[in-house]
Amino acid sequence: MEGTLTARDKVGVQDFVLLDAYTSESAFVDNLRKRFSENLIYTYIGTLLVSVNPYQELGIYTVSQMELYQGVNFFELPPHVYAIADNAYRMMCSELNNHFIFISGESGAGKTEASKKILQYFAVTCPMTESLQIARDRLLLSNPVLEAFGNAKTLRNDNSSRFGKYMDIQFDFQGVPVGGHIISYLIEKSRVVYQNHGERNFHIFYQLLAGGDAERLSSLGLEQDPQLYKYLSQGHCAKESSINDKNDWKTVSNAFSVIDFTRADLENLFGIIASVLHLGNICFTEDKQGGATVPDTHEIKWIAKLLGVCPSVLLEALTHRKIEAKTEEVICPLTVELSVYSRDAMAKAVYGRTFTWLVSKINSSLVNKDITQKTVIGLLDIYGFEVFDKNGFEQFCINYCNEKLQQLLIERTLKAEQAEYEVEGIEVNIGITLRVMFSKECIRPGPATDLSFLEKLEEKVGRHAHFQTRKLAGAKGRKRIGWLEFRLLHYAGEVTYCTKGEWPVTPILTVLHLQVLCRSKNSILRECFLVAELENRRRQPTVGTQFKNSLSSLLEILISKEPSYIRCIKPNESKEPSKFDDFLIRHQIKYLGLMEHLRVRRAGFAYRRKYEHFLQRHLSSPTLIFFNIFIYLFASRERERQRENETKIFIRFPRTLFATEDAFEFSKHQLVARIQATYKGCLARREYMRKRQAATKLEAHWRGALARKEIKRRRWAVQIIRRFIKGFINRDKPLCPDNEEFVVFVRKNYILNLRYHVPKNVLDKSWLRPPGILENASDLLRKMCVRNLVRKYCRGVSAERKAMMQQKVVTSDIFRGKKDGYAESLNQPFAHSRLGVSTSSLSDGFLVIHVSPEDKQQKGDIILQCEHIFEVVTKLAMLAKKECMVNVVQGSLQFYVSPGKEGTIVFDTGPEEQVYKDKNGQLTVVSGRGA
């Protein structure tokens, strides 16, 4: 309903219950038309689905569509056949009860398609185990086989189901489809022998001829051309462009292999199909006695071969009949006309029972061997109400069935409605009169002639208000009813039935037929025609009684289940897409009882929802304001209707609901924003909490790891310290495990420290104090160090300095302790230059002793003259260990008189030796010329 409300302005209303003019058929049709023109073929009447055949593919049956509807509240999405299927399935799963979906409508309205869509929906959306896929495939593939044998092209539908079908899909407690069961109703056997112009026989005949290979056809004595067979060519449309028999044959052959048909089954089955075709081609001529005879027994032979019967017995069964008197039996020949009737009767019976066998064979392949099967959903695809120009026994049965089913619907729906209103404390006066039209006399075996049958009817049900014959009708109605007709007023309208010919009040099979068929070698036929039937022939129920019985058991099946309804409507007779024939649709609306149904739904209130659902949808702040007003209005208007156990809100006028809905629409954006914000907030909060938790966890882990590391470190430190202390305590002991580490550490440490404290020069006597255990080593090291320093020092001493030092040693030997000032002199280096001796190269006896003039007070160099200059100079040099200090100059030599003042001695040779000082103070020494 909510989905309905959303889209109501766009294309009509999606639920007829929301129509203002709900009593107007025109408004109903208008709404249907409006939606149909937009390809919206589905509309609800409450929970009933109205479907208009679109006659085109609309793309609304995709897997994504199925997923869309899966598990969604019925009213949340636009009407769809999937919504009905899903609703039934969910209810079945949650309440563990049985359901059925009743699909009705006239031929071509789309019932079979709807049931196929539902089956596909279950196949796709239900949970599935691998082993149960076979059951699912069989369920799906039973359809093409049933359609091949039970469907035919009619003027109204190229693939018209010519039988009613009820299919149970069985589910286990988990909602997995585990099996199925099919019940067929009233296959249209007359089609086997006769088709109207433009119609065909059952598809299987054409499929076999078109798709069967040459070998198979020849083994069945068949030709490919369907025109050669009388039973296939009466409708003059054996070949139909919209039907691909060859392809369909492939599908059916494949389906046969999936649903457990053995080779022998297929041989027998196609033997029967071929026999029916051969039967149709048997021609009778009149013999001299007026009896029927068969001039060409070609067909008889083939039938006898295929069915495994005796040809002469078969021939006799077709051309004779047995008259059973009290004591004797007489075989009488039939006329040509009766032989044709007999032949057709046999063909119909053979095909009809073979179809029943086929259904039971399919059922045995669908059977669920698992006894845990829990619930079922039934699909009832049954012919809708039929009103033709000429209505016979079949229409009577179909309409009887529809009447019964309508009765069931009314009982279930109305009672449910009424019960709901009562529970909710609301009074309803629906005013529906159930029209039970059929009494058992209508279909009771009666006399053989059509007229006497009618008279019997008049006698039994003549007083019934809804029954009329020409005799019973007043002067006005008389003209409209024929002598052999009767008229019934069904819930969907008047139908006039003709009793001529088609009312099989007695069994149509003769004893001779049964005798042939019971003894057939074809195992299918033997299963279909039991010998026991021959013996109990008189007690066999008529077709009508059989149908009535099967209908009663169907009703029993249905009564125990929860119903859902789909009403299919055919938009036009020409099978064209987008063509909406008002007249035709009105007619269907009428006989499908849709207006009646709508009236019932609207008799009380257009809208009823549980309070919580209603509030859930509308209780947002902007709508709340409106809602409050609305509640006030509602409460004041309906106050008298309040009862104690109210659980639902009922709104009578759609406009009130729409106004609420408009307010809802108006506030939708705000709502969406708020929902979005709340949702995002919720997501963000969740994310934040997640991160926070993660961070806390991470932090805890990290801290734990750090703490563990710290503990490890401390433990290690404690061990080290302990070992250190132990080592310290045992440090003086010989090297042992207790002190080894400590000693190594101390050594290492001492040596490392020592690096920074080694003496820098030979005079530095400092030394790092060693620990006790290292005293020896330290001593050795110190010595090595000193030696090293000394060596280094010695290497660094120049020869000059060495000489000076040697001189100092001599000085020491001479003066130490003997002469004052010696100690002070120690620091004063001896200058090399402080003492030098110079002589001239000439023969004079002069020598100059150079003394360094550092002190200004002191005198300068000493000039000496001696006789033994060579000896003096040599001894001086030797004394001073300074041979090199003797300087022998030529010409002149400089000397220091006093610091800063120099003098010069000029040496020269002359005739005589002389020493003189000139005016400048310059001293000149002249030595005599050598010899």
Instruction: Determine the length of the chain.
Output: 931
Which residue out of 51, 125, 161, 510 is catalytically annotated? Answer: 161
> Least CB distance from residue 109 to ligand ATP, whole Å?
4
Q: Which is nearer to ligand ATP, 187 or 279 (CB)?
A: 187
Q: How far apart, in whole angstroms, are the C-alpha atoms of residue 682 and residue 672?
A: 15
Kindly list the strands in the beta sheet with 48-52, ordered across the sheet, starting from the edge strand earlier in the chain.
42-45, 48-52, 562-569, 99-105, 375-383, 164-171, 177-185
Q: Which is nearer to ligand ATP, 125 or 660 (CB)?
A: 125
161 is catalytic: yes
112 is catalytic: yes
Q: Which is nearer to ligand ATP, 53 or 623 (CB)?
A: 53
HSE on the CB side for 905, CA within 13 Å? 29
Which residue out of 3, 12, 46, 108 is catalytically annotated? Answer: 108
Which residue is listed with tokens 């065909």? 200
DSSP for 744-763? HHHHHHHHHHHHHHS-SSTT
Q: How far apart, in whole angstroms, are the C-alpha atoms of residue 855 and residue 795?
A: 33
Task: Using alpha carbons, select from 631, 629, 619, 630 the residue that is nearest to residue 674.
Answer: 619
> Least CB distance from residue 573 to ligand ATP, whole Å?
12
The H helix count followed by the E strand count for the chain is 33, 26
Which residue out of 47, 112, 151, 520 is catalytically annotated? Answer: 112
Q: Is 57 annotated as a binding residue?
A: no
Which residue out of 160, 375, 623, 838 is catalytically annotated? Answer: 160
The answer to whether 839 and 869 have CB atoms below 8 angstroms apart is yes
Q: Is 535 annotated as a binding residue?
A: no
Which residue is listed with tokens 């629409």? 665
Q: Is 135 annotated as a binding residue?
A: no
The answer to whether 853 and 860 have CB atoms below 8 angstroms apart is yes
Q: Which is nearer to ligand ATP, 386 or 562 (CB)?
A: 386
384 is catalytic: yes
The torsion region of residue 24 among left (phi > 0), alpha (psi -120 to 50) and beta comes to beta
Kindly list the strands in the beta sheet with 835-840, ordered across the sheet, starting from the edge strand earlier in the chain.
862-865, 846-851, 835-840, 886-889
> Least CB distance from residue 577 to ligand ATP, whole Å?
8
827 is catalytic: no
Q: How far apart, in whole angstroms, are the C-alpha atoms of residue 74 and residue 609?
A: 12
Which residue out of 87, 98, 104, 107 is catalytically annotated? Answer: 107
Q: Which is nearer to ligand ATP, 116 or 597 (CB)?
A: 116
Q: Which is nearer to ligand ATP, 139 or 414 (CB)?
A: 139
CA distances from 725 to 99, 426, 742, 772 (A): 92, 100, 8, 16
Q: Which is nearer to ligand ATP, 116 or 561 (CB)?
A: 116
- Work out the number of other CB atoms within 10 angstroms of the CB of residue 777: 14
Which residue out of 164, 211, 378, 384 is catalytically annotated? Answer: 384
108 is catalytic: yes
392 is catalytic: no
> What amino acid occupies position 219?
S
Q: Which is nearer to ligand ATP, 39 or 523 (CB)?
A: 39
Residue 587 C-alpha from the chain's centroid: 45
Q: Is 312 annotated as a binding residue?
A: no
> Least CB distance from residue 305 to ligand ATP, whole Å?
35
Residue 315 C-alpha from the chain's centroid: 64
CA distances from 330 to 292, 511, 535 (A): 17, 12, 17
Which residue is listed with tokens 């919504």? 83
Q: Is 246 annotated as a binding residue?
A: no
Q: Is 510 annotated as a binding residue?
A: no
HSE on the CB side for 922, CA within 13 Å? 11
Which spans of this chain sit near ligand ATP (rule: CB under 6 A)?
53-55, 57, 105, 107-113, 157, 159-161, 383, 568
Q: Is 112 annotated as a binding residue?
A: yes
354 is catalytic: no
904 is catalytic: no
Q: Is 106 annotated as a binding residue?
A: yes
Which residue out of 157, 363, 375, 469 is catalytically annotated? Answer: 157
Would you list which residues are annotated within the binding site for ATP? Answer: 105-112
Residues with catalytic annotation? 107-108, 112, 157, 160-161, 384, 386
Would you list which residues are annotated within the binding site? Answer: 105-112
